[in-house]
Amino acid sequence: MNRRWVVVLAIVLVAGTAAAAAFWPTPRRRAVARVAELDGMFREESEEDAEGGQHPVVSVTLAFRTVGSADLALLRDIRPLHRIYLDGSTVTDADLADLDECDTLDVLSLSVTKVTDAGLVHVAKHPNLRVLNIRKTQVSDAGLVHLRGLSRLATLNVWESNVTTRGLGELRRSIPGLRDDMSATDDD
């Protein structure tokens, strides 16, 4: 084989490898495609950090969608995944176990879902969580106990849940940085 054919063959191999890498269905691509199939939204943005530098932020929104355990299990293939919005979706306590491996999660929104105290066992496995929205859920003071180890939790929305001011106060003692800007139901 002469030198010219070797060069042509090398170029074809490199181009073919690059094309295959660009279009090969990786787990991340399959997960993003499933989000699109569910009429959800996948976003990659850049956000300024405390030092003024930029870092990527990846979020998935599946609000008001019929979402199953298999769909949530795919989300662990989107790494890093920082924010998940499941408001008004069909997510249940058991489904939240499929998010346990999303270790970079810092925002989780579960308002208007069937999530109860039992689901917060799984939420508590996200040590980087800063924002948790459990508005209009069946979560009560008993569920908040699971959140005591989330030292970075800064915002907790409990409007129209079964959380009382007493339960919220106890959680604030465990997490001093928790903002006081959310309301709870009055104690009986």
pLDDT at residue number 21: 53
Please tell me the predicted confidence (pLDDT) of residue 11.
Answer: 79
pLDDT at 151: 96
The tokens describing 172, both together, are 């604030």
For position 22, what pLDDT does the model report? Answer: 56
Hey, CA dihedral for 119, 121, 125, 128, is it positive or negative?
positive
What was the pLDDT predicted at 97? 97
User: What is the pTM for the complete model shown?
Assistant: 0.84
How far apart, in whole angstroms, are the C-alpha atoms of residue 63 and residue 12? 45
pLDDT for 53 equals 85
pLDDT by residue, tens only, the chain of 188 residues = 678 777 777 777 766 665 555 566 799 999 999 999 999 999 999 888 778 888 889 999 999 999 999 999 999 999 999 999 999 999 999 999 999 999 999 999 999 999 999 999 999 999 999 999 999 999 999 999 999 999 999 999 999 999 999 999 999 999 998 985 455 555 55
pLDDT at 59: 97
87 Cβ partners below 8 Å, 6+ apart? 63, 64, 109, 110, 111, 112, 113, 133
Q: How many of the other CB atoms lie within 10 Å of CB of 22?
A: 7
Closest CA to 85 of 142, 135, 160, 147: 135
Longest dimension (CA), the chain: 89
In order of start, what are the domains of the chain with their CATH numbers?
Answer: 26-174 (3.80.10.10)
What pLDDT was estimated at residue 91? 97
